[in-house]
Structure 1
Amino acid sequence: MTTQFWEKSIGINATLTNLLLNPVRRCLLLCRSKLRKASDGVAASRQTSPFIHQGWWLLRKRLLPLLFLISFVAVLLLNSFAPAIAQLPPQPRQEIRGVWLSSNDFSVFRNRSKVQAAMSQLRQLNFNTVYPVVWNDGYTHYPSAIMQKMGIPFFFKGVDGQDVIADIISQAHSQGLLAIPWFEFGFMVPLSSELASQHPDWLTQMRDGTQTSTNAAAEVAWLNPFHPEVQKFITELVMEVITQYDADGIQFDDHTGLPVDFGYDKYTISLYTQETGNPPPPNPQAQAWIKWRADKITAFMVDLYQTVKSRKPNAIFSVAPDYYNFAYKLYLQDWLNWVRLGIVDELVMQVYRKDLESFITQITRPEILETQQIIPTGIGITAGLRNSPVALPQIQSQVQAAQQRGLGISFFYYESLWDIAPEPAAQRQSAFAALFPNPALRDISQNPPRKPTFDTISLPLYTKPSLGQRVRGYFLEMAIANGQPKRILLDTGSAGLRVPKEFLGNAPIRRTGQNIKEILSDGTILEGELVYTNIRFGLLPATEPVPVQVVTSRQCTAQKPNCSAKNGVPFSGIIGVNYFEKSLPYNPLRKLPGNLSNGFIVTGNGGNNNNGSLILGLTADNQAGFKMAPWNKQSKINDVPGNRWDSQVSKVCLTIAGSSAKNLCNGKMIADTGTINGLTEFKSASTAGKLKPGVLRSANAVKVAINGIFDYSLTPGTRDGFNRWNLSISPQSEVPTFVNTGIAFFDKYDVLFDQVNGRQGFRSRR
């Protein structure tokens, strides 16, 4: 009975909400700007009809108090009908009904009265979003301090000298429309522009040295999206718009990419060679070369998304690309991965087709079906061009096809809706009114920052670091504080991220002034300040800033004077991913989004030159075949999120040939990617028997096992990282027998780290 009552209560809640609260919500959304400005009469002065003016004030004076009273009563009723745990159904994704305001429309929007009339007309026809262009042809359509500082002229004032973009946004809001400024040309600029002339080093080129391509925008050059100064320039423009205007978001289209034939400039060639060890292939469509460039553009978009959200968390980060195969293969724009990474809040795919069958084929592609389950998704439809008008039947059939599939619409472009069209304006407007017979208002308050949609992801583990000459290791590519990606040693035996100062980029860093010290197993002492900053694993950003030790000093302990700090090898950084944190900094994988933070799997490379893998996010599928050993839970530490575990596994059996250590099953063991060689540490000399501290010989075969979980054996030799095994005697040891199997163990076993359930898994790779 209780369950039935709750289910009925939830149904009653939904019904009451629709009946009682929706009128208030609709009124507040439609009139949000009017409410802000009603006190000084601004809203009333912008109405085009005295009747509307008087009607609004009557509504405000007589009906709003009643509506607020109804909403108050509704809240009381909802609370009385259901317990606190009952929740209303989630709101459906907001439908896109938009139009691009292009450079072709500028003659219209330079005039304030025309802007006001246009926004009013769009609202009456139940549009809900406008996308005014703010960047194309190498110029901004708003007065930019950044461009002014560069000496680049500004041509786009209104007829009264007004800021056209500010006027469009203000008038759009007065009609309850969202205004999302549109960076139309992305990385594309005319070769003759002041920007290209001032910064020729910012341009990229084809393999034969050609700097331009030809498309619908005529002959154009391309800013190099891999160049840090270009990325900084675009980011500054975007943030200038987000900061300077009350914009509801920002949109990037198909030009926020690069034609596949480009990328053969000196900077990019050097960067690719540095990161891969080889120059770019001569074939621009080589898969690895495409992926490398596409991933670089994705990494930039991840950083740009985070920067926008840090300033305005609810801003809509919108993209308007071509269909995916075209966008990725020909323009290096991996927008489906952007959606999956959680950095896209809205997608409008451009489908400019005359043939309805071809149009439907594009809007029913798998990537669109996937995307529309996650975010508001629309289709870009051409309403006509000045030299190529589009008749109403084509527009109507395409809109209806999209609507039947639950997709929104955006038209390119405003003037072609009815001003330059084969049918009379009144007929066109009547047709658009029929396409959108009911309002569909949008509200950015329902647009919180998103999380990735995948439960697991695999990142490559490289065999060489960005710095240093380490013999063996697994290195994870990371970007710290928006710096260039660096390959950092993955260490399952320690916790916390520790990097040299030069690995940091120019993103904000919160300094603590706290100097910390870490002593590595080889006797190296790392010292440096603890700071908090953003990090990215490959393309995947952490959900918030994490603690990082910025290492500024390295030296050796007195007990181990020949540590790595003495040999002059540069410090390549360490990312410790152990869950046995003793203090700050903690394992940064704890700050991954969603399911990705629940644990990970290290898959080795078998001792060859192929990359291993770090699999983030444990699922039922990727845990198949693992045999589990438990960890012991430890007390929590302040500022360390999640559970803390002693990630040494117990009941380890050890046998060393030629010694009294034969099937001792009282040991503890750690699987450690950060240690090159295997190690046995005895608490007393008697346990070691005849063996002396030092490197074991081939006669001292080692066998390490946990009954029913794994059985590992090794013949000691002289190859670091493969078969060298050390023995030490330490009365200070916490346990009688301790085993660190070193990196060679990962040649034979995949190792799973489950931070939720406190266990470690082993799966044979043989």
Structure 2
Amino acid sequence: MKQLMKLSFIFAIGILSILTACQPAKESSSAKHYVWMGEGKNEDPAQLEKMFVKLKETGVDGVMYQCALEKYPAAIELAHKHGLELHAWQTILRRYSEQLLSEHPDWYTVSRDGKSTAEHPPFVDYYKWLCPTKPEVRAYLTKLVEDLAEVPNIDGVHLDYIRHSDVILARDLWDVYGLVMDKEYAEFDFCYCDDCIERYKKETGEDASAFGDAAPDNAKWRQFRYDMVTETVDELTKAVHAKGNKINAAVFPTPTISKTLVRQEWDKWSLDAYYPMNYNSFYQEGIDWVEQSCIEGVEALNGRAPLYSGLYMPAFPTPVEFQQAIQASKKGGASGVCIFTPYEMNDEHWQILKEEIENW
């Protein structure tokens, strides 16, 4: 009898093992979550460490961090101490530098009405833009990202403002600047510098300087501007990868919006990750729009790289809306969220972010 019971027990264990083996393994989440932040509010190392500790406790994986080149080693050491990635976040084509303005004013973009952003920046004084068509600009930017990629132990290079100036502002900003941007107006339409005009004419036989008010209707001329930004990104990507590092970027939401507003065709790029700024309030949209933005971006990338949904904290007057935006990002297929910025978060926001990360 004991022998029979023993055999029955062994048989039962064997069946249980078989059934367990047949169950699909629970997939471990490959999601990651980030924040955009700079040194401005954390110049004190103790304050920076306090923020890094808070981020790690909440479940955040890394920071897109903006500071001077020489300050990255200390920030990286502190981030890694607390198990966080740190990516060097830098503006690229929008370069407000007195040295550049003094030495290379010809590097800056020119509007359809003939004004350079070096002297006549649109919207705000710091809107001074380098032209992506110029070989000298590309060489300068390549050196910039190579220097960032060579910082010891850096986790990646994060591009920002890698586009043209806004030919059309997001709808919520029209009132801010007292503008109606219902079409592409000459003073906001870039770039018509000599290099752009000459290269386009060489490639197409057309003189873009003669387009006048018909310029917005010329699909080839519009595509040329997309391509110049894309070529620049490709060169920067190759430079960073050659240094054995990763490269990613903050981009406008959806390939459609980014092309229409800022000449940015990011679904044609070859980055390691994409961070669309799904700032729904800028477009006078509700939170459902965040999900749709993620869906379009994820479909456009077609599995080539992860997409992290950028969320703008001032767009969420209540913590519940913040939670809904995170959930909308997940439903839209994003691989995580990136928060701009953690400084606007209160205790409820932090708790919601922690719970949503745990349940992603």
SS at match of 1:327: helix
Query: Structure 2 CA distance, aligned partners of 1:93 and 1:392?
Result: 24
1:449-460 matches, cutoff 5 A: none
**Alpha-carbon displacement from aligned partner over 1:491-517 (angstroms, at most 9, x marks no partner):** xxxxxxxxxxxxxxxxxxxxxxxxxxx
Change (3 A) 1:357 1:225: same
Checking the alignment, whether the CA contact within 8 Å between 1:96 and 1:376 is kept in structure 2 is no
Query: In the comparison of the two structures, how many residue pairs are matched?
Result: 306
Q: Deviation of residue 289 (structure 1)? A: 0.6
Is 2:351 aligned against 1:351? Answer: no
Change (3 A) 1:210 1:92: farther
Q: Deviation of residue 364 (structure 1)? A: 2.6
> Which structure has the greater CA radius of gyration?
1
Change (3 A) 1:389 1:359: closer
Query: Structure 1 CA distance, aligned partners of 2:134 and 2:301?
Result: 30
Q: Deviation of residue 176 (structure 1)? A: 1.8
Query: Structure 2 CA distance, aligned partners of 1:429 and 1:92?
Result: 23
SS at match of 2:308: strand
SS at match of 1:368: helix
Checking the alignment, whether the CA contact within 8 Å between 1:351 and 1:380 is kept in structure 2 is yes
Checking the alignment, whether the CA contact within 8 Å between 1:389 and 1:416 is kept in structure 2 is no
Q: Deviation of residue 351 (structure 1)? A: 0.8
| Partner residue in 2 for 1:361 | 292
SS at match of 2:207: coil
Change (3 A) 1:127 1:400: same
| Partner residue in 2 for 1:228 | 135
**Alpha-carbon displacement from aligned partner over 1:684-716 (angstroms, at most 9, x marks no partner):** xxxxxxxxxxxxxxxxxxxxxxxxxxxxxxxxx
- Alignment-mate amino acid for residue 335 of structure 1: W
- Alignment-mate amino acid for residue 229 of structure 1: E
Is 2:306 aligned against 1:383? Answer: no
**Alpha-carbon displacement from aligned partner over 1:55-84 (angstroms, at most 9, x marks no partner):** xxxxxxxxxxxxxxxxxxxxxxxxxxxxxx
Is 2:35 aligned against 1:99? Answer: yes
Q: Deviation of residue 256 (structure 1)? A: 0.5
Query: Structure 2 CA distance, aligned partners of 1:170 and 1:274?
Result: 49
1:168-567 matches, cutoff 5 A: 168-183=75-90, 185-190=91-96, 193-212=98-117, 213-215=121-123, 220-253=127-160, 255-259=161-165, 260=167, 261-280=189-208, 281-282=211-212, 283-285=214-216, 286-312=218-244, 315-323=245-253, 324-338=255-269, 343-354=270-281, 355-365=286-296, 367-371=297-301, 373-384=303-314, 390-407=317-334, 408-418=336-346, 426-437=347-358
SS at match of 2:114: coil
**Alpha-carbon displacement from aligned partner over 1:151-175 (angstroms, at most 9, x marks no partner):** xxxxxxxxxxxx2x22221121122
Per the normalisation by structure 1, the TM-score is 0.38
Query: Structure 2 CA distance, aligned partners of 1:406 and 1:363?
Result: 6
- Alignment-mate amino acid for residue 112 of structure 2: R
Q: Deviation of residue 414 (structure 1)? A: 2.6
Checking the alignment, whether the CA contact within 8 Å between 2:311 and 2:339 is kept in structure 1 is yes
> Higher relative contact order by CA 8 Å / sep ≥ 6: 1 or 2?
2
Q: Deviation of residue 394 (structure 1)? A: 1.8
Change (3 A) 1:94 1:320: farther
| Partner residue in 2 for 1:124 | 57
SS at match of 2:106: helix
SS at match of 1:220: coil
Q: Deviation of residue 369 (structure 1)? A: 2.7
Query: Structure 2 CA distance, aligned partners of 1:320 and 1:92?
Result: 26
Q: Deviation of residue 194 (structure 1)? A: 3.0
SS at match of 2:304: coil
| Partner residue in 2 for 1:112 | 45
1:661-740 matches, cutoff 5 A: none
Query: Structure 2 CA distance, aligned partners of 1:391 and 1:318?
Result: 30
Per the normalisation by structure 2, the TM-score is 0.77
SS at match of 1:252: strand
Query: Structure 2 CA distance, aligned partners of 1:327 and 1:92?
Result: 33
Change (3 A) 1:93 1:292: farther
Q: Deviation of residue 229 (structure 1)? A: 0.9
- Alignment-mate amino acid for residue 324 of structure 2: S
Query: Structure 2 CA distance, aligned partners of 1:329 and 1:188?
Result: 18
Query: Structure 1 CA distance, aligned partners of 2:73 and 2:292?
Result: 39
Change (3 A) 1:230 1:290: same
| Partner residue in 1 for 2:13 | none
Query: Structure 1 CA distance, aligned partners of 2:280 and 2:146?
Result: 34
Query: Structure 1 CA distance, aligned partners of 2:312 and 2:331?
Result: 18
Query: Structure 2 CA distance, aligned partners of 1:432 and 1:218?
Result: 35
Query: Structure 1 CA distance, aligned partners of 2:157 and 2:47?
Result: 24
SS at match of 1:221: coil
Query: Structure 2 CA distance, aligned partners of 1:101 and 1:311?
Result: 25
Change (3 A) 1:370 1:332: closer
State the Cα RMSD in Å.
2.6
**Alpha-carbon displacement from aligned partner over 1:725-762 (angstroms, at most 9, x marks no partner):** xxxxxxxxxxxxxxxxxxxxxxxxxxxxxxxxxxxxxx
Checking the alignment, whether the CA contact within 8 Å between 2:34 and 2:62 is kept in structure 1 is yes
SS at match of 1:377: coil
Checking the alignment, whether the CA contact within 8 Å between 1:351 and 1:381 is kept in structure 2 is yes
Change (3 A) 1:207 1:214: closer
**Alpha-carbon displacement from aligned partner over 1:573-622 (angstroms, at most 9, x marks no partner):** xxxxxxxxxxxxxxxxxxxxxxxxxxxxxxxxxxxxxxxxxxxxxxxxxx
Change (3 A) 1:412 1:397: same
Query: Structure 1 CA distance, aligned partners of 2:287 and 2:250?
Result: 20
More helix by share: 2
**Alpha-carbon displacement from aligned partner over 1:84-113 (angstroms, at most 9, x marks no partner):** xxxxxxx878313000013xx5132x1111
Query: Structure 2 CA distance, aligned partners of 1:94 and 1:371?
Result: 17
> Structure 1: where are the runs of 5+ without partners?
1-7, 19-90, 135-140, 144-162, 419-425, 441-766
SS at match of 1:235: helix
Q: Deviation of residue 335 (structure 1)? A: 0.7
Query: Structure 2 CA distance, aligned partners of 1:100 and 1:377?
Result: 15
Query: Structure 1 CA distance, aligned partners of 2:28 and 2:263?
Result: 32
Query: Structure 2 CA distance, aligned partners of 1:92 and 1:234?
Result: 38
Query: Structure 1 CA distance, aligned partners of 2:329 and 2:337?
Result: 7
Query: Structure 2 CA distance, aligned partners of 1:377 and 1:264?
Result: 33
- Alignment-mate amino acid for residue 347 of structure 1: Y
**Alpha-carbon displacement from aligned partner over 1:329-360 (angstroms, at most 9, x marks no partner):** 3322111111xxxx221111111114223333
Checking the alignment, whether the CA contact within 8 Å between 1:93 and 1:376 is kept in structure 2 is no
Q: Deviation of residue 218 (structure 1)? A: 5.1
Query: Structure 1 CA distance, aligned partners of 2:250 and 2:29?
Result: 18
Change (3 A) 1:120 1:195: same
Query: Structure 1 CA distance, aligned partners of 2:116 and 2:215?
Result: 15
SS at match of 2:264: coil
| Partner residue in 2 for 1:733 | none
Checking the alignment, whether the CA contact within 8 Å between 2:37 and 2:341 is kept in structure 1 is yes
Query: Structure 2 CA distance, aligned partners of 1:171 and 1:96?
Result: 19
Change (3 A) 1:370 1:265: closer
> Structure 2: where are the runs of 5+ without partners?
1-17, 168-188
SS at match of 2:65: strand
Q: Deviation of residue 427 (structure 1)? A: 3.2
Checking the alignment, whether the CA contact within 8 Å between 1:93 and 1:375 is kept in structure 2 is no
- Alignment-mate amino acid for residue 222 of structure 2: I
Query: Structure 2 CA distance, aligned partners of 1:186 and 1:93?
Result: 32
Checking the alignment, whether the CA contact within 8 Å between 1:131 and 1:180 is kept in structure 2 is yes
Query: Structure 2 CA distance, aligned partners of 1:335 and 1:363?
Result: 14
More strand by share: 1
